[in-house]
Amino acid sequence: MSEENEQKIDKPAGNTETAVKALPEAAEKVKSEASEETAEVVKPKHRKKIFRVALVLVLLVLTCVVIYLADLLLRPKYMGDVTEGALTAEYYKAYGDHDVLFVGDCEVYENFSTVELWRKYGINSFIRGGAQQLVWQSYYLLEDALRYETPDVVVFNVLSLMYNEPQNEAYNRMALDGMRWSKTKWNAIKASMCDGENMIDYIFPILRYHSRWNELTSDDFKYWFKKDLVSFNGYYLRTEIMPAGDFPPARPLADYNFGDKAMKYLDKMTELCKEKGIQLVLIKSPSLYPHWYDEWDENMEKYAEEHGITYINMLKIAESEVGIDYSQDTYDAGLHMNVTGAEKCSDYLGKILKEKYSLEDHRNDEKMSEYWKKVEERYDAAKNG
């Protein structure tokens, strides 16, 4: 065979080899083009799915925002005639660690002036009190406060020991709605609920207050997001004068022992204070009614002695030592003190606390003095206005 023919035969063999090598590249190209075409089909579907999910999320967020705003609007604001419901939340706005924390019912938040304690003794104090505040509510409000600070002294007014069961939803709400959420608040609600109350209504207040739509006033809109301060570090100032009057005679009781639940929480308060190194002082303020029985007083004296704590019955010495004039120092016929009576009570108790527990005078503390100066300005305006 000639050389020319050999070359002719070799050429097809070379082309076949090249074609075989090109097959994978061509297959990969076809695969790539097919993938691109598929992606073009999938992309619009994928985008639609993302859009739908995003739309649902946006609608959920907007719904939550609307419910939240409605919830704030519908809650009672306690800025009108009944302001006691605003007291609990005001604690979180107060400045600095407190030397003294008061806990209890209206016999503390109306009968002791925190401003007078500051002015006369440099004591930084706060009153965590509320209307008909029950002993377990006082305990949990104290426990809540100890999440933020450890005072030197806790003062508890003992009148609420007369109640051994939850009393009233409205008073529960005033004491508890203003608490920040925590395990402590959960336990306080559980201990306080009356028949017919539900935990879910406390978690989502709008479920309880949704019917207030037709009761809304201008105050509900005015204080929708921010409320005015109604107290002076927990003290509720009253300037009216109504001399003490006559009260119905005290009816005899079948049993002068306090109830098991009430005493359980007094024990818990005593143990908590000892655990934290806090001095607990029990007091009976000089309010004339409800009646404070001699037998109750004896029970308190015995309890204080057994637990090594201080008990002061200011009702016994109201006129002789505290200096209360029941014709001038009460605003509601002897149930609670007005501002002059509250200042006298504070002068008397403040001296005992200062001397017995060596409380620091903070009047040279620049930042604290600046805070109290603002409180004093509001206080003097309310007192003299």
pLDDT in tens, 184-208: 999 999 999 999 999 999 999 998 9
Closest CA to 292 of 326, 318, 325: 318
**Is 20 a domain residue?**
no
Q: Check if the beta carbon of residue 168 is closer than 8 Å to that of residue 175.
A: no
Residue type at 293?
Answer: Y
pLDDT of 2 over the 60 cut: no
* DSSP-assigned letters across all residues of 93-114: G--S--SEEEEESHHHHTT--H
Tokens of 272: 């908590």
Return the percentage of the chain with pLDDT > 90, whole number. Answer: 72
pLDDT band at 128 (very low <50, low <70, confident <90, very high): very high
Over the chain, what is the mean pLDDT? 90
pLDDT of 96 over the 90 cut: no
pLDDT in tens, 307-364: 999 999 999 999 999 999 999 999 999 999 999 999 999 999 999 999 999 999 999 9
Q: Check if the beta carbon of residue 158 is closer than 8 Å to that of residue 103.
A: no
**Is 124 a domain residue?**
yes
Q: What does the angle CA 143 – CA 144 – CA 145 come to, to the nearest 5 degrees?
A: 90
**Is 54 a domain residue?**
no
pLDDT of 41 over the 90 cut: no
> What domain count does the chain have?
1
Sheet holding 153-157, edge to edge: 125-129, 100-104, 153-157, 279-284, 310-313
Q: What is the pLDDT of residue 370?
A: 97
Q: What is the pLDDT of residue 318?
A: 98
**Is 4 a domain residue?**
no
pLDDT band at 71 (very low <50, low <70, confident <90, very high): confident
Q: Check if the beta carbon of residue 155 is closer than 8 Å to that of residue 99.
A: no
Q: What is the mean pLDDT of residues 260-267?
A: 98
**Is 148 a domain residue?**
yes
| Residue 364 lies in domain | 75-384
**Is 215 a domain residue?**
yes
Q: What is the mean pLDDT of residues 12-23?
A: 50
Closest CA to 380 of 239, 225, 207, 248: 239
**Is 30 a domain residue?**
no
Q: Is 310 exposed, middle or buried (0-12, 13-18, 19+ CB in 10 A)?
A: middle
Separation of alpha carbons 212 and 140, rounded Å: 29
> Which is more confidently placed, 183 or 33?
183
Separation of alpha carbons 349 and 322, rounded Å: 9
Q: What is the mean pLDDT of residues 22-41?
A: 53
Separation of alpha carbons 94 and 374, rounded Å: 12
Q: Check if the beta carbon of residue 189 is closer than 8 Å to that of residue 136.
A: no
**Is 165 a domain residue?**
yes
Specify the pairing of strand 279-284 against strand 153-157.
Answer: parallel
Closest CA to 260 of 165, 179, 131, 369: 165
- Residue 231's domain is classified under what CATH number? 3.40.50.1110
